[in-house]
Chains A and B, each alone.
Chain A
Amino acid sequence: MKLERRYACAPASDRIPSTMAETHSLQDLRQPAVSSKVFVQRDYGSGTISKFQTKFPSELESRLDKQQFDETIQTLNNLYAEAEKLGGKSYLEGCLACLTAYTIFLCMETHYEKVLKKISRYIKDQNEKIYAPRGLLLTDPIERGLRVVEITIYEDRSIGSGR
Chain B
Amino acid sequence: MKNCEYQQIDPRALSVSPMSAQNRAEMKAQRSRRKWEVFPGKNRFFCDGRIIVARQSGVLPLTLGLIVVTCGLFFAFDCPFLVEHLTVFIPVIGGVLFLFAVISLLRTSFTDPGILPRATPEEAADIEKQIDTSGSSTYRPPPRTKEILINQQVVKLKYCFTCKMFRPPRTSHCSLCDNCVERFDHHCPWVGNCVGKRNYRFFYSFIISLSFLTSFIFGCVVTHITLRSQEGKSLIQAIQESPLVICFFSIWSILGLSGFHTYLVASNLTTNEDIKGSWSSKRCTEESGNPYSYNNIITNCCVTLCGPMPPSLIDRRGFVPLVEASPAASATEIELPPFLAKNDSNMCTRSTKDVLARMVHAFDSRGLCPPGTPKTTPVGVEVSSSPSAGCPLFSRSSRKRDSLHSSNPAFRLASPSPSLSRNTMILGEGPDVGFIPIP
Which residues in A have some Cβ–Cβ distance to B below 8 Å? 4-5, 7-10, 12, 15-16, 19-20, 23-24, 26-28, 30-39, 42, 44-48, 83-86, 90-91, 93-95, 97-98, 101-103, 105, 110-113, 116, 137, 139-140, 142-148, 150, 152, 155, 163
Contact = CB atoms under 8 A, between A and B. Distances in A.
B7 A8 contact: yes
Given A48-B292, A143-B371, A145-B375, A12 B410 contact: no
A142 B374 CA distance: 11
Contacts of A148: 123
Given A16-B329, A93-B308, A8 B6 contact: yes
| Most-contacted residue by chain B among A23, A27, A42, A111 (CB, 10 A) | A23
A27 B151 CA distance: 48
Interface range for B: 35 or more
A86 B365 contact: no
B305 A94 contact: yes
A44 B150 CA distance: 6
Contacts of A146: 313
Contacts of B226: none
A122 B358 CA distance: 34
A84 B18 CA distance: 47
A2 to B, nearest CB: 11
Contacts of A93: 306, 308-309
Contacts of A26: 6, 9, 365
B436 interface: no
Contacts of B9: 8, 26, 30
Contacts of A10: 4, 6
B151 to A, nearest CB: 6
B301 to A, nearest CB: 10
Contacts of A97: 309
B369 interface: yes
B407 A144 contact: no
Interface in B383-439: 405-411, 414
